[in-house]
């Protein structure tokens, strides 16, 4: 299990952004930065599970949905979450 499996993440509500969801991909537009972040289907699914859930729970749901080993799910989920933290859209809580 990854070392950050018990971290929780939350959407940074202080951010001024708009979300457009076309049912497959999601686009997050940050007004102040003028940046659009695109989430593919799997990253979009992680996004729907974020607020307040522990990484371990998100990974388990992700593994179940996509029929993959938990170890692979943990890696994928962590990559998505950390990329969103790097953009400032998410924060660890």
Could you tell me if 45 and 62 are in contact, meaning their C-beta atoms sit under 8 angstroms apart? yes
pLDDT of residue 13: 65
The predicted model gives 50-54 an average pLDDT of 80
What's the whole-model pTM score?
0.82
Q: What is the mean pLDDT of the chain?
A: 85
pLDDT digits (tens, 9 = 90+) for 12-45: 665 678 889 998 999 999 888 888 999 999 999 9
- Pairing between β-strand 90-92 and β-strand 17-21 as defined by DSSP bridges: unpaired
pLDDT of residue 27: 94
Sequence ranges of the domains in the chain: 9-87
CATH says 9-87 is which class? mainly alpha
């Amino acid at each position: 299990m990854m070392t950050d499996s018990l971290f929780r993440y939350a959407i940074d509500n202080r951010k001024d952004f708009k979300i457009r969801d076309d049912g497959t991909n999601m686009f997050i537009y940050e007004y102040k930065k003028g940046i659009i972040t695109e989430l593919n289907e799997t990253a979009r699914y992680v996004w729907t599970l974020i607020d307040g859930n522990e990484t371990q729970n998100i990974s388990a749901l992700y593994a179940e949905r996509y029929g993959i080993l938990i170890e692979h799910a943990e890696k994928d989920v962590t990559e998505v979450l950390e990329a969103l933290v790097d953009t400032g859209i998410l924060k660890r809580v």
